Structure 1
Amino acid sequence: MKISKLSPNFEVRDIRKSVEFYTQYFGFKLIMAVSESQDGVDNVIHSDKEYVYAMLQQDAVEIMFQRSDTFKTDVAFSEGLPIGATVSFYMEVEGIQNLYQSLKNEKLEITELQKTWYGMQEFYVKDLDGYILVFAEKAA
C-alpha cells in the first residue's frame, strides 16, 4: 500500500465562517465549495448561498470542511460525537515568528510561542469549532 496524502475533513457549524477564518489568518485559498443544492461546484463563496462543503489549500496542505448535518449523515462513526477533536493538526511552516506576530493580537485562542525540548519553535491555535492547530518551525 502507498499513501499519497492525508486531507482532514473537519466537521464544522458554518462553512462560510470556517473558510473566512482559515483564509484570513493562515493564508489558505479556497479550491472549491458545494452549496446546499449540491448541483455544482463554486470557486468563490457567494453571499446568497449556504454551503455544505469546502476544500482549501495552502502549499502542500489541503483541508476540507463539511457542515455538521451532512457530516453526520456521511460519516457513520461520527454519530453522537461532538464537533472538535482530541487530536492536534501539526503543520511545519517557514517564518513562524512572522506568523505568530500577525496572530497574537487577534481575538484568537492562542498559546505563547515556545521552544520545545525536541528543538522546535511552536504555538497552538484553537479554531472556531474547537480544532487544535499547531504551527512549528525548527529552532535556529
Structure 2
Amino acid sequence: MKDMKDTVAAAPGMVNQAQQMAANAQAMQAQMMAQQQASMQQAMAYQQANAGAAAASGGLEPIAGVGLEQYARIVKAIAPLNYDQSLLPGIAASHGVDGASWQAAHDGWNARIQGDPNVAKAFSDVYRSV
C-alpha cells in the first residue's frame, strides 16, 4: 500500500517531467526543421548563382552553330534506339546539322559538360525538359 501512495504522490512530478520532455522534443524538432530549411535555401541560392556563372563564362554559347538545347534534343533522340552513338550523325542531319558541324559540336559540348559543373547542370536541366 505504501508503494501505491508513493507512486500517487510522485505522479504530478512525473507528469510535469513528461510534459517538459515533450516540450523539449518539439523545440528540437522545430530547430531541426529550421536548419533543414536554411540548408535548402542556401543550396538553391548556390545553384542559381552557379547557373549564371555558366552563362557568364560563355559556357552556354553554341558550338559550330549547335546550341545546348539542340544538342540535348539530338543526343536524347538515341535513348529509344539503345543509345547507339553511330546514329547521332544521321539524327543531327535530320535536325539540320551537317556532319562536320555535328562532330565539332559533339566534341565541344562533351568537353564543356565534363569540364564545367555549371554547364553539366545546365545540360542536365535542358536534357530533362526536351
TM-score between the two structures when normalised by the length of structure 1: 0.21
Higher strand share: 1
The structure having more radius of gyration, on CA atoms, is: 2
Structure of greater relative contact order (alpha carbons < 8 Å, 6+ residues apart): 2
TM-score between the two structures when normalised by the length of structure 2: 0.22
